[in-house]
Amino acid sequence: MANNSLRILQVMRAPVGGLFRHVADLTRTLAERGHEIGIVVDESGDAQSDAKLATIAPFAALGIHRFSIPRLLGPQDITTPYKIRALAKSLRADILHGHGAKGGFGARLARIGRKQARAVYTPHGGALHFDPRSLSGGAFMTIERTLLRLTDALIFESRYAQTTFASHVSPPHGRQEVIHNGLAEAEFIPINPNPDAADFAFVGELRTLKGIDLIVEALAPLKAPDGRPASIIMAGDGPDAAALRDRIGQMGLTDRVRLAGIRPAREIFASGRCVLVPSRAESLPYVVMEAAAAGRPVIATDVGGIGEIFGPTSQSLIAPEDSAPLKDAMAAFLADPASFESEAEARREFVHSRFSLTRMVDEIEALYQSLTI
């Protein structure tokens, strides 16, 4: 083990979505560099979350520890930080890195009385999606402002997240950095669509926040230049899956929409010729980075940090909350896929130069090291 190796606790509520992808990549790479990593996660779980945690268990030399971390505020938010603090003391943790609102809450409260440990917080969207003018949003922002005094460094995965935090919570006065998420080199291998690929593809959580209702509305009237009705494959699961199936049936789109369940993103990229990401809100979605790295055309909304991924092609982003611009963009792809393919290649080169896993871990590791000097 290197002389400057660190003992790091990564704290999150649940192993889901891009947040877990980020923690998993960070854990593997830091462990390979000689650091000792521990994971703190909510004690509730299912077979899917257990399987995800099992994939990073070999890299978690400090173990995977489960405590009660409720999704909303509850009495466990008083007791669990004390348990995390006791764990950090027993493990002699140098860094407590909280991910997401609840992970950040637990990690930073656990820092109280632990002068030798440093607390790092990455919001990953989380509470930043709440309207600060609402009752619940105002409460979350007040908590975030209070916790800033216990925060040694803030990491934002996008400039959008940094700006939103400053406007919704408070401009941070301490250490803060924008460190974009990154992809492994193998993910930049281009993918060509299968011969029987659908016209479009969607990969993500099946919930209205992701614009899945807009997809079926936009798809309904679309036809390819040869008169064939346009088709799509949709992969994922979520709270609005049943409503989506009902809507597909009501609109008579059963033969044109294939629901594939939870599948690997790159598999679905090969099963559709153009990737759709019509989200109503995002921070820095991995699926956009992954599709761009694979060289696939992407139609996405201008929300969150997506423009940072699109870079020189950001003029192609469409307005959210409306099926009309989505339908127009999908129709444009059907009419002239070659222009979308050309743009996709330019986007792939841009993402390759700025969104690598090595760069992401280098910058986070350097921040950790600077805090412990």
Q: What pLDDT, in 10s, does the model give residues 147-181?
A: 999 999 999 999 999 999 999 888 877 899 999 99
Which pLDDT belongs to residue 170?
85
Which pLDDT belongs to residue 283?
86
Residues of the chain with pLDDT under 50: 1-2
CA distance 288 to 277: 7
In what order do the strands lie in the sheet containing 153-156?
64-67, 36-42, 7-11, 95-99, 118-122, 153-156, 175-178
Q: What is the chain's Cα-based Rg? A: 21
Which fold does the domain 7-182+356-371 belong to in CATH?
Rossmann fold (3.40.50)
Q: Which two tokens stand for residue 262?
A: 């939870």
| CB-based burial, 339-365: b 16+ in 10 Å, e otherwise | ebeebbeebbebbbeebbbeebbebbb
Which pLDDT belongs to residue 74?
80
pTM for the whole structure? 0.89
Which CATH architecture group holds 186-354?
3-Layer(aba) Sandwich (3.40)
In sequence order, the 6+-apart residues with CB closer than 8 A to the CB of 324 are 218
What is the sign of the dihedral through the CA atoms of 189, 193, 199 and 205?
negative
* pLDDT tens column, 136-149: 777 888 888 999 99
Q: Which two tokens stand for residue 295?
A: 């060289």
CA distance 185 to 187: 5
Which pLDDT belongs to residue 70?
86
CA distance 85 to 23: 20
Check for a shared fold between 7-182+356-371 and 186-354: yes
Element (H, E) at 272: strand 272-277
Which pLDDT belongs to residue 58?
98
Which residues on neighbouring strands pair with residue 183, listed in sequence order? 356
* pLDDT tens column, 231-282: 999 999 999 999 999 999 999 999 999 999 999 999 999 999 999 999 999 9
Instruction: Identify the burial level of 64 via C-beta atoms within 10 angstroms of its C-beta, where 0-12 means exposed, 13-18 middle and 19 or more buried.
Output: middle
Contact 202, 232 (CB under 8 A): yes
Instruction: Return the domain boundaries, the chain.
Output: 7-182+356-371, 186-354
Instruction: Identify the burial level of 187 via C-beta atoms within 10 angstroms of its C-beta, where 0-12 means exposed, 13-18 middle and 19 or more buried.
Output: buried
Other Cβ atoms within 10 Å of 132 Cβ, number: 18
What beta strand segments (E) does 285-347 contain? 298-300
Q: Which two tokens stand for residue 112?
A: 């109280």
